[in-house]
Amino acid sequence: MLRHSLLARALLVPLALSASWAAAPARAWTEAQVQSAHAHVEVSPSGTLEARLQLAVHVHGGWLEGLDIAGLDPELTLLPGEDIVLLESGGQRFRPTVDAAQPGTIALSFRRRDAPRRGDYALAVAYRAELAESAVQAIDGERTRYEWILPGWRSGLDDVRVELIAPAGAEPDEEARVGDSMVTREVDTLPDGRVRLRYVRAHLPRTVPFRVAFTLPNAAVPPSRRAPAVGLPLEPTAWATVRERALDPTFALLSAFFACVALAKLLLHRRTARGLGLLPVGLVPLPPFARAAAVVFFAALAPFLYVLRTDLGVLCLLPVVLLVLERAPRVGRAPGLGAYAPVGPRERLWAAARARIERFGPARWLDASTLPGLGSLLGMVLALVAVDRFVVADAPRYVPPGYATVLHALVPLAALMLTTTRAQLPSSVAERVCALVALARRFPAQLGNVPAALQLVLHRDAAGHGQDARLRLVTEHRARGLVRLDVAIADCRRMGRYVREPVLLVVTREDSDAELRLASALPAVPFRSAPGGRRARTLPLSRVAAVIDTLCLAPAPSVSSVGVLGPVRERPIACVSTRA
């Protein structure tokens, strides 16, 4: 387990993303890692052992500030006369400051000027310890089982070798789960009668401890180590006592926080949809209160499953993400009757303030598809990594079996933050007003061959609530039968999310001059029939110039209205009268 290096502080953000795949028992920054481990262990019948570890350490960059080797035997003491030296491949030696005060941990620290740099190093550690009470257990029959564990690491180890020297009369434990076919085992007898067990594993996955065990006749076991056979066999996946198998505080806190985020997203999404006149529909066909209760149930169950196996605890959080997913909302209420009125400065200020509040509201901080939500997600990642590395890592705890770790829970947390986003709901009236104001500022003064003016209008119902906003095109001439010529904001649903885009809305009366012109100019554009003999067409904004030229171009003056110059008739002078 490797502690922080100074270079890692400058790379904290990418480190936090990569740390979600690191192992909890081995606290290592990604700039340095243990690549291989060889262990030579001598165990006496009383449970006293002497262990010598040879570790291959690779430093990727910067300088190594600290190196922690945790998860070792409790109450260990360093062997006198055995100096701990970090030996570089070129022969240079680095002598660290050693601290073995914490149970099962050997902490090494280096001064900056004497710290190892980039390269490969060999580390030798020797200590004496007593096997834990749970590591020496009586089994059915007349034998006692001894077990020693090489702890798991944050990164996988290659070429792992364990040489175990057991007392005379020892036999390898056939029921020990040490990797099955992936482990090569050799047994021979030394000249003094002791038994040597050799275990070789080509690759040890990260966070997976390497367990080796042997059995000894009860006659060779001291009375202080003898214990009556228990009814239940020793659990081969953990060497901690049952009392130590308590809930992991970090994962329990994470599960509670996970449930709070899920419930907040459900509540905020439902409130926003109701405000838009929509009815939210969950992917799981359950009532809202049933979905909330299911979220609490799975979040409360996850810490208990995590104690049994870490993979189960992390997988138990995935149903919470499924319960938060939403489908396309249904229309809750139809728009009420009302009228369009021009939008003044007061309404524009209200729309800008309302849109700003919605942009930085509580729902956006839980939506990782927005900048505030992305910042929240990165903050959660950094907080969990900091807690796992600097708080929980300093206290010895029981490590449940399994490949997943607390940091792997960041995967369902990120999925939760990326689901049920604001993009699954259409835009509000305030957002449409702001979008139309921004569009009007860059709108050309003349469209095609016709000068046009813009008027921002807001549709209000009988209670005075805004329901829609339009940008009305005003021209000097309009074809007879043209009812509406507006620019509107359309929310198009694409790939499960709403995309906002401006469109041109043209409404004409049937059999009118405007309808005949539009049908002849744009025959391929479909229309929708509306009450009152109206026809509505929606066109892309790029065709606004062609539509205005078709419907709003001033007609050429007719011959009858101007008149024709005829021949001059000669009249008698007597017919011409003058007045003084």
- Report for 6-10, 155-159, 234-238, 323-327: range of highest mean pLDDT: 323-327
Contact 517, 550 (CB under 8 A): yes
Say if residue 298's pLDDT is above 90. Answer: yes
User: What does the pLDDT read at residue 24?
Assistant: 34
Give yes or no: residues 302 and 261 share one domain. Answer: yes
| Mean pLDDT, residues 241-249 taken together | 57
The domain spanning residue 74 has which CATH number?
2.60.40.1730
| Mean pLDDT, residues 235-263 taken together | 69
Q: For 37-91, write each residue's pLDDT tens digit.
A: 999 999 998 888 999 999 998 887 777 888 888 888 888 888 888 888 888 888 8
Give yes or no: residues 130 and 205 share one domain. Answer: yes
Report if residue 166 sits inside a domain: yes
Give yes or no: residues 260 and 323 share one domain. Answer: yes
Nearest to 393 by CA among 47, 45, 131, 105: 105
Say if residue 336's pLDDT is above 90. Answer: no
What is the distance between the alpha carbons of residues 307 and 247, in angstroms, rounded to a whole number? 6
Task: Kindly indicate the confidence band of residue 258, based on its pLDDT and cuts at 50, 70 and 90.
Answer: very high
Q: Which of the listed residues 236, 261, 295 is the one where a domain comes to its end?
A: 236
Report if residue 577 sits inside a domain: no
**In sequence order, what are the beta bridge partners of 216?**
144
Q: Look up residue 529 and give its two tokens.
A: 């029939």
Say if residue 559's pLDDT is above 60. Answer: no
CA distances from 422 to 2, 278, 365, 414, 501 (A): 41, 13, 11, 16, 16
> SS3 breakdown of the chain: % helix, strand, coil, rounded to 5?
35, 30, 35
Q: Look up residue 526 and give its two tokens.
A: 């479909």
Say if residue 181's pLDDT is above 80. Answer: no
Say if residue 13's pLDDT is above 50. Answer: no
Q: For 217-234, write each residue's pLDDT tens digit.
A: 888 888 777 655 444 443
Give yes or no: residues 332 and 394 share one domain. Answer: yes
What is the distance between the alpha carbons of residues 266 and 425, in angstroms, rounded to a whole number? 13
User: What does the pLDDT read at residue 244?
Assistant: 46
Give yes or no: residues 420 and 446 share one domain. Answer: no
Q: What is the domain count for the chain?
A: 3
Give yes or no: residues 196 and 58 share one domain. Answer: yes
Report if residue 388 sits inside a domain: yes
Q: Look up residue 128 and give its two tokens.
A: 């004496």
Residue with tokens 């300088």: 63
Give yes or no: residues 198 and 308 share one domain. Answer: no
Q: Which of the listed residues 361, 389, 424 is the one where a domain comes to its end?
A: 424
What is the distance between the alpha carbons of residues 45 and 170, in angstroms, rounded to a whole number? 10
Report if residue 571 sits inside a domain: no
Report if residue 541 sits inside a domain: yes
Give yes or no: residues 435 and 490 share one domain. Answer: yes
| Mean pLDDT, residues 203-227 taken together | 82
User: What does the pLDDT read at residue 262?
Assistant: 94
Torsion angle of alpha carbons 345, 350, 354, 356, nearest 10°?
40
User: What does the pLDDT read at residue 42?
Assistant: 93
Give yes or no: residues 45 and 104 share one domain. Answer: yes
Report if residue 377 sits inside a domain: yes
Task: Kindly indicate the confidence band of residue 252, based on its pLDDT and cuts at 50, 70 and 90.
Answer: confident
Say if residue 303's pLDDT is above 80. Answer: yes
Give ∠ CA 281-285-287 in degrees, rounded to 5.
Answer: 75
Domain that holds residue 477: 429-554
Say if residue 462's pLDDT is above 50. Answer: yes
Q: Look up residue 538 and give its two tokens.
A: 């929606």
User: What does the pLDDT read at residue 294?
Assistant: 94
Give yes or no: residues 354 and 472 share one domain. Answer: no
Q: Look up residue 544 and give its two tokens.
A: 């606004």
Contact 178, 172 (CB under 8 A): no
Report if residue 567 sits inside a domain: no
Q: Look up residue 479 and give its two tokens.
A: 């074809």
User: What does the pLDDT read at residue 321?
Assistant: 93
Q: Which of the listed residues 214, 236, 258 is the one where a domain comes to its end?
A: 236
Report if residue 544 sits inside a domain: yes
Give yes or no: residues 230 and 283 share one domain. Answer: no
Say if residue 316's pLDDT is above 90. Answer: yes
pTM: 0.56
Give yes or no: residues 394 and 281 share one domain. Answer: yes
Strands 157-166 and 446-447: unpaired
User: What does the pLDDT read at residue 289?
Assistant: 93
Q: For 503-546, write each residue's pLDDT tens digit.
A: 999 999 998 898 898 888 888 888 898 888 899 999 998 888 88
